[in-house]
Amino acid sequence: MRKYSLVMAVLLLMATWAVAKDEPKFKSIEVKHFPNAEGVELPPEFSDYLYAELRATLQKKKLADQLLGEDEVVDPADAPKSAILEGSVLEYKKGSVVKESLIGFGAGGRSLTAHIKVTRRSNNEIIVEKDIKVRAMARWDPKTLAKFLANSIAGQLKHSD
């Protein structure tokens, strides 16, 4: 009898944990386009691709019930549990295939540094603010960096308080 009740308690605990895990952290997240800092030369379609990738990744990681487009209205009741994600691309290095082939060990790779800021909609409280650097091979498409950056941002948001 004691064994059964122990098993039941463990199952109940696991079910509660699973339900709690599935619940999104935010009611909504508004993603804004990331402008490029002066001197950053990225392909023109990069900004829209990063925006699309961010929305898709945050949705996939179930961080919010709703992923809002830029400048969409939010119900005032949902504002305390809603966030705004904005940022800018600070630096982009194209990399060098020759350097990468001759030296290796990560030398000559592409890299991108972005400053991100996630604020709570209701009181502008900063949830996450930091610079994130992502790297990729020089041979790869620059859009790979957008994918890596989106994943990194989603990870930061997931582990934020």
Partner 1 sequence: MQTRSLLYLVVSFLLMFVALSATAEEPKPTPENTISINLVTQIQPQTFTPPVKFFVDKVIDRSANPQPMRVLRERGGVFLDKEPTEIVQQALQETLQKSNLLAADAASADYVLTVYVFHFGLGSGLGAEYYGKVDLNIVVKDKKTGASQQVTALGTSVQGAAMRKKNILKNIDADIEGALESALRNFLRGTKLRDAVAPVSDKPAAAPQARLCASGLDS
Q: Does the footprint of partner 1 cover residue 56 (CB under 8 A)?
A: yes
Among the residue ranges 10-18, 49-57, 101-109, 151-159, the one whose residues contact partner 1 (CB under 8 A): 49-57
Q: Which letter, b or e, does each residue of 107-126 get, where b requires 16 or more Cβ atoms within 10 Å of its Cβ? A: ebbbbbbbbbebbbbeeeee
Q: Please report whether residue 45 would count as binding partner 1 according to CB under 8 A.
A: yes
Tell me if 80 contacts partner 1 by CB under 8 A: no
Mutual angle of helices 46-60 and 143-158, in 10-degree steps: 40
d(CA 30, CA 76): 14
Of 15-23, 50-58, 90-98, 120-128, the window that binds partner 1 (rule: CB under 8 A) is 50-58
Structure tokens of 17? Answer: 């944990």
Residue 129 found at the interface with partner 1 (CB under 8 A): no
Q: Rule CB under 8 A: say whether 113 interacts with partner 1.
A: no
At 65, is the secondary structure helix, strand, or coil? strand
35 binds partner 1 (CB under 8 A): no
Nearer to partner 1, 96 or 144 (CB): 144
Spatial separation of the C-alpha atoms in residues 40 and 92, rounded to whole Å: 6
| Residue of 27, 49, 84, 100 interacting with partner 1 (CB under 8 A) | 49
- Residues between 9 and 28 with contacts to partner 1, criterion CB under 8 A: none
Nearer CB in complex with partner 1: 93/143: 143
Query: At residue 122, what is the residue type?
Result: S
CA–CA separation, 161 and 126 (whole Å): 11
Binding site for partner 1 (CB under 8 A): 45, 48-49, 51-53, 55-56, 68-73, 141, 143-144, 147
